[in-house]
Chains A and B, each alone.
Chain A
Amino acid sequence: MASSLESGPDSKPPSVRDLSREDSRELLAVNWVKAQPSLTAFLIASTPQFSDAEDLLQEVAVEVARRFDDYDPSRPFLPWALWVAKIQVANFYRARQRNPVKFIGDSIDALGEACDRIQRTLSEEKWALEKCLTSLTGRSRTLLQLRYFDDLTPQEIGPRVGMTAGAVRIALFRTRSALMACVRSTLSGASGFHEQR
C-alpha cells in the first residue's frame, strides 16, 4: 500500500519550488491550519486512541513540511495532505506491527473524499458547534469532560459517575446526537439570515 502511495497522487510540473522561501512558508502555514481540523479528524478515525492520533498529526506535519516543495499550489491542499497522512497511517501501523483498524482500512478512501467535501463547511460547523456547546449542562457536560479531557473510556467513566458502561455509552451517544441536531438547527437558522443580506 505504501509503495503505491509513495509515487504521489499526480505528476505536477508547477511546484512550491517556484515560490520564494518566505512565500512558500507562508503558503504552508495558511494551508496547514485550514486543513488541520480535517486531518485531525481523519487521523482520529484511523487510530482512535487520541494520543496516537495526536502523535500522528505531528508526524504528518513534519512530513508535509518536508515534502512541501513537491506540492502543486494550483491544486487543493487537503487531498495532497490526506495522501501524506495515509502514508503516515500506514507507516504507523507497520512500525507497531499492528493491523490497521479494519473498518477504517476498508473505507479510508471514502472517508478521505468525505473529508475533502466537508472541509469547505467546517468553519460554519465549528461556529455552530461552539454555540451549541454552551448549551451543555449537567451530566452531558461531565461525561464529555471525562471522555475527552481525561481520555477515559465508557468502562472507566462508569464507576466515576455511578453508571454502567452501557449507560455511559448511551448517554454519550445521545449527547453527541443532540449536538449534531443543534448544529443543524443553528446552521439552518443562520443560512436564513445570510440569505437575507
Chain B
Amino acid sequence: MNNAEAIELIDAHLDRQPLTDEQSDALTAWITENPRQADEAFYRIFLHSYLRTRLQAGLLPATSEFSIQDDSHFHLPAMLESTSSTIDRPSLPVLRRPSSWIKNRIVITTSLFFGILGGLGWWGFHGLLNFGSQSDQLYAYEGFDYPGTVFPESHGQSAWPTSGGLQGLNKGIGWSQPWQETNSKVAVIADYSQPAMPWLEKDMRKFGPLGYTDSLGNVLQSSGNQMRTATSPRSITTRLLNIAAFPGSMRSEHGLGLDGSVIWLSFLAQSSLSTADNNRYSYLMIGTKETSGLRIGKLGATPSGNWTAAALQTGAEVNLRSSPFPSGEMVFFVARIIFRPGPEEATVWINPRLDTEPQVEQASMRLPVPDFRFDGVAIHANHSSDFDELRIGGTFQSIAPVTEPRKYGR
C-alpha cells in the first residue's frame, strides 16, 4: 500500500465508510511499519478532528485574498502525488460566491436555526418567543466609574496595592453587594488623567482608555475609568448580582440561567501583552470552577495568548475555543448564552457591529457549556489587563448601547 492509498483509507474510515478486513489489515500494516507513517496517519486524523471542532465552533474563517478550490492547481505533497491530482488554487482573488454556495449557506443557516430550536425543546422555544417581551432592559451594569486608585509608596516608589483596589466599590446597577477582592493583590481603577506607571514597550494600553467603535463608525457607550488587574501573583475580584432584579423567566433558586432563558453579556478588555507565556491569564468568569461555568478572556492554556473562551467542568477547562484576536488588542466581547436542558450553548462575538444583533455565522467562538447557573461575576488575572463596561441583559441591544453620533466640524 502506498501513502496515498493509506491516506484515502483513513479518510474513508473517518467519513464513516466501513473498511473491509483486507483494507483494515493493510492500513494497520502501513501505520505500524514506521513512526513516520504513523505520524502521517495521525496528522490526517488530526486534520479531520480540527475541521470538525473548528466548523462546529465558529464555522470557517472568512476567506482571504487567496483561495483553495477544487478546480485549480495546487500541487500535492510528494506523498500524495501518486493519486490523482492537482488541487485547487486559482491565481486571482476569488471573492465571488456562486449561487449554489449561497444556497448551501442558506441551507446550513436554516438547519442551524432549526437545530437550535430542536435542541432547545419547548422551553427554549418559549424562551425565544419571550425574547421580545423580556424588553430591552439592561439588568446589570458596571462602568468602573470610580476615582483612580492611589498607589502606595514603598521605598520612594509606587507599589502595587495589596489591599483596597476595588474592595467595597459599589456603583453600577443590578448588584447585590460591592466588589470583593479575594487574593493577595487587588485590581485597581485606572485613570488616564493621572500619571501612569511606566508602560512596557509592547503594552498597547498606553494609547488610551478602552472604547469601541464598530466598522460602521457606531460608538459603544462608555465613560469614566476602567478596571486594571494585578500581576505577580494575581488578583481575583468578584461581585454578586442582585438576582431579584432579573426577570423570573431567567432565574431559579440556583441562580441565573433558567432553562429556556437567553442571557447576553458584554465587556471591553485588553491585556498588557499578547502572549500567554508562563501561563498568563486574565478572564471574566460566570458560574464556578468547581462545578461548571464559562470563562471568557485570556487563558494560559492558549499559548498564542489570543482571546479565548472555555467551559468549566469539575475544575477543568473544556471545549476551549480560541479566536484570532491577540489579547494585546482592545476588544469588545459580546456573549450570548442559551440556557437549556443539558449543556448550555454559548456564542461569543468579538468586535461585532453595533447596529444589529450579530448572526451566529459571524461568531468568533461557539461552545457548549455544561449545565450551569450563576449569581455573580469574577475577574481573575495573574497579569495586568483592563476591563470595562460590563453589561448583562436580555437582548443584544441592551448590552451594546450606542452613543449619539458626535457632531464634528466647527
Q: Is the CB of B15 within 8 A of A153?
A: yes
CB contacts under 8 Å to A, within B1-47, are 7-9, 11-17, 19, 21, 23-25, 27-28, 31-32, 35, 38-39, 41-47
The reply on A181 being an interface residue by CB < 8 A is: yes
Residues on the A chain within 8 Å of B39, using CB: 114, 117-118
The reply on A95 being an interface residue by CB < 8 A is: no
User: What 10 A-B pairs have minimum CB-CB distances, sorted nearest first?
Assistant: A33-B301, A41-B49, A114-B42, A134-B64, A103-B24, A137-B67, A178-B87, A102-B24, A114-B38, A25-B315
Known: A29-B315, A61-B318. A178 touches B101 (CB 8 A): no
A20-44: CB near B (< 8 Å → 1, else 0) gives: 0000010011101110111011101
Least Cβ distance of B322 to chain A in Å?
Answer: 9
Question: Interface size class for chain A?
Answer: 35 or more
Q: Is the CB of A150 within 8 A of B108?
A: yes
The reply on B69 being an interface residue by CB < 8 A is: yes
Known: A113-B35, A138-B70, A160-B104. A129 touches B15 (CB 8 A): no
CA distance A181 to B318 in the complex (A): 30
Residues on the B chain within 8 Å of A64, using CB: 316
CA distance A45 to B60 in the complex (A): 22
Residues on the B chain within 8 Å of A30, using CB: 279, 300-301
Residues on the A chain within 8 Å of B359, using CB: none
CA distance A44 to B24 in the complex (A): 16
Least Cβ distance of A123 to chain B in Å?
Answer: 5
The reply on A5 being an interface residue by CB < 8 A is: no
Q: Which residues of B contact A (CB under 8 A)?
A: 7-9, 11-17, 19, 21, 23-25, 27-28, 31-32, 35, 38-39, 41-56, 59-64, 66-71, 74-77, 80, 83-85, 87-89, 94, 98, 100-101, 104-105, 107-108, 111-112, 279, 289, 299-304, 310, 313-318, 320, 324
Q: Is the CB of B46 within 8 A of A133?
A: no
- Which of A102, A143, A170 has most B Cβ within 10 Å? A102
Residues on the B chain within 8 Å of A136, using CB: 60, 63, 67-69
Known: A32-B318, A113-B38. A178 touches B68 (CB 8 A): yes
Residues on the A chain within 8 Å of B104, using CB: 142, 145-146, 160-161
Q: Is the CB of B42 within 8 A of A111?
A: yes
Ordered by A's residue number, 9 sampled pairs between the chains whose C-beta atoms are within 8 Å are A32-B317, A61-B313, A101-B24, A137-B68, A138-B67, A145-B60, A174-B84, A176-B48, A178-B74
- Which of B63, B68, B317 has most A Cβ within 10 Å? B68
Return the chain B residue nearest A24 by Cβ. Answer: B315
Q: Is the CB of A134 within 8 A of B50?
A: no
The reply on A115 being an interface residue by CB < 8 A is: yes
- Which of B39, B112, B289 has most A Cβ within 10 Å? B39
Residues on the B chain within 8 Å of A179, using CB: 47, 68
The reply on A130 being an interface residue by CB < 8 A is: yes
Q: Is the CB of B38 within 8 A of A110?
A: yes
Q: Which of B13, B16, B48 contacts A41 (CB 8 A)?
A: B48
Q: Which residues of A contact B (CB under 8 A)?
A: 25, 28-30, 32-34, 36-38, 40-42, 44-45, 48-50, 58, 61-62, 64-65, 101-103, 106-107, 110-111, 113-115, 117-118, 122-123, 125-127, 129-150, 153-154, 160-162, 169-182, 184
Q: Is the CB of A144 within 8 A of B55?
A: yes
Least Cβ distance of B21 to chain A in Å?
Answer: 7
Q: Is the CB of A28 within 8 A of B316?
A: yes
Q: Is the CB of B60 within 8 A of A138?
A: no
CA distance A125 to B39 in the complex (A): 13
CA distance A126 to B59 in the complex (A): 15
Return the chain B residue nearest A48 by Cβ. Answer: B14
CA distance A101 to B31 in the complex (A): 15
Residues on the B chain within 8 Å of A132, using CB: 68
Residues on the A chain within 8 Å of B80, using CB: 177, 180-181
Residues on the A chain within 8 Å of B21, using CB: 102
Least Cβ distance of B247 to chain A in Å?
Answer: 32
Q: Is the CB of B13 within 8 A of A101?
A: yes
Least Cβ distance of A43 to chain B in Å?
Answer: 8
Q: Is the CB of B47 within 8 A of A180?
A: yes
CA distance A172 to B12 in the complex (A): 10
CA distance A38 to B66 in the complex (A): 29
CA distance A140 to B303 in the complex (A): 30
Q: Is the CB of B67 within 8 A of A40?
A: no
Q: Is the CB of A172 within 8 A of B11?
A: yes
Least Cβ distance of A97 to chain B in Å?
Answer: 17
Q: Is the CB of B94 within 8 A of A137?
A: yes
Q: Is the CB of A129 within 8 A of B63?
A: no
Return the chain A residue nearest B370 by Cβ. Answer: A58
CA distance A81 to B315 in the complex (A): 16
